[in-house]
């Protein structure tokens, strides 16, 4: 019996060594940088997986011209606001409700590997992370987008992510200065001057990646 218990413990121990897809904390405040061959952007974001809403405030450059974007994505209402503080104007677009992108590893993701970013030789010198990859069918179904994401082993915090589409090439996102929690829930309120903005019914419904795909339009 003792041998059996020991074997069971070993088996469970071995299984526990392999990382399993995880889900990030539901409330996060942090920053990210997004880059590909042509553009570079830094954004502050507030993320609420419970009420499915994200606020992005970003500053970036595209072919050496700078731009700023402030976007509020309310997935429950199916609405995205793009806010122009200078002109005090808003654009209100449809957002695909089902496209809320929770910060989690999809169940069908494959593990590329576990590494220590930096070093394990001293305290504060390294970070234990897991990298996952997979594919996403595009709406047309013709080609598949590819992705690869790195999360911390402890806490399931996003560290970096690469996303490939034929149109954009590789887009590299790095996540930093994250704290678990939200500092101001009013970040998810549209500014007062957005009240009364009519929904643009003509535009194609946006999704999470529209912000990045649209970046090139702001040059």
Contact status: 17 vs its own copies (CB under 8 A): no
* Smallest gap from residue 169 Cβ to its own copies (A): 6
Q: Phi first, then psi: what are they for 101, rounded to 5°?
A: -105, 85
What span, in angstroms and rounded, lies between the C-alpha atoms of 37 and 150? 21
Are 60 and 73 a contacting pair, CB within 8 Å?
A: no
Strands 27-35 and 53-62: unpaired
Are 212 and 36 a contacting pair, CB within 8 Å?
A: no
Contact status: 120 vs its own copies (CB under 8 A): yes
Contact status: 175 vs its own copies (CB under 8 A): yes
Q: Looking only at residues 126 through 155 of this chain, which bind its own copies when binding is defined by CB under 8 A?
A: 126-128, 152-155
Task: CB nearer to its own copies: give 11 or 110.
Answer: 110
Q: Phi first, then psi: what are they for 187, rounded to 5°?
A: -55, -25
Contact status: 157 vs its own copies (CB under 8 A): yes
Task: CB nearer to its own copies: give 176 or 189.
Answer: 176
Contacting residue, 166, 170, 199, 205, with its own copies by CB under 8 A? 170
What span, in angstroms and rounded, lies between the C-alpha atoms of 218 and 94? 19
Task: CB nearer to its own copies: give 79 or 157.
Answer: 157
Site string for its own copies, 22-41 (x = CB under 8 A): ---x--x-xx-----x----
* Smallest gap from residue 107 Cβ to its own copies (A): 23
In order of 34, 72, 170, 205, the CA distances from 60 in angstroms are 9, 17, 17, 24
Are 133 and 149 a contacting pair, CB within 8 Å?
A: yes
Contacting residue, 66, 89, 119, 138, with its own copies by CB under 8 A? 119
* Smallest gap from residue 178 Cβ to its own copies (A): 4
Contact status: 159 vs its own copies (CB under 8 A): yes
Contacting residue, 169, 199, 200, 204, with its own copies by CB under 8 A? 169
Task: CB nearer to its own copies: give 155 or 191.
Answer: 155
The half-sphere exposure of 147 on its side-chain side, counting CA atoms within 13 A, is 19
92 CB-near residues (< 8 Å, 6+ apart): 79, 80, 81, 194, 197, 198, 199, 200
Count other Cβ atoms within 10 Å, centred on residue 214.
13
Point out which residues bind its own copies (CB under 8 A): 25, 28, 30-31, 37, 115-128, 152-155, 157-159, 169-170, 172, 174-181
């Amino acid at each position: 019996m003792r041998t059996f218990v020991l074997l069971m413990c070993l088996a469970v121990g071995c299984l526990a060594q392999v990382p399993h897809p995880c889900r990030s904390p539901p409330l996060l405040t942090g920053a990210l940088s997004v880059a590909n061959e042509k553009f570079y952007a830094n954004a502050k974001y507030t993320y609420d997986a419970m009420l499915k809403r994200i606020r992005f405030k970003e500053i970036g450059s595209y072919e050496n011209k700078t731009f700023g974007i402030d976007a509020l994505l309310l997935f429950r209402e199916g609405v995205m606001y793009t806010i122009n503080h200078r002109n005090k104007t808003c654009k209100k677009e449809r957002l695909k409700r089902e496209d809320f992108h929770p910060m989690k590893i999809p169940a069908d993701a494959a593990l590329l590997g576990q590494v220590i970013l930096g070093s394990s030789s001293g305290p504060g010198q390294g970070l234990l992370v897991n990298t996952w990859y997979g594919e996403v069918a595009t709406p047309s179904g013709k080609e598949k987008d590819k992705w690869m994401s790195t999360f911390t082993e402890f806490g399931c915090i996003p560290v970096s992510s690469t996303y490939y589409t034929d149109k954009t090439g590789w887009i590299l996102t790095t996540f930093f200065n994250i704290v678990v929690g939200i500092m101001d829930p009013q970040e998810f309120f549209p500014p007062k001057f957005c009240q009364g903005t009519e929904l643009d019914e003509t535009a194609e419904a946006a999704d999470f990646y529209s912000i990045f795909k649209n970046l090139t339009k702001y040059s």
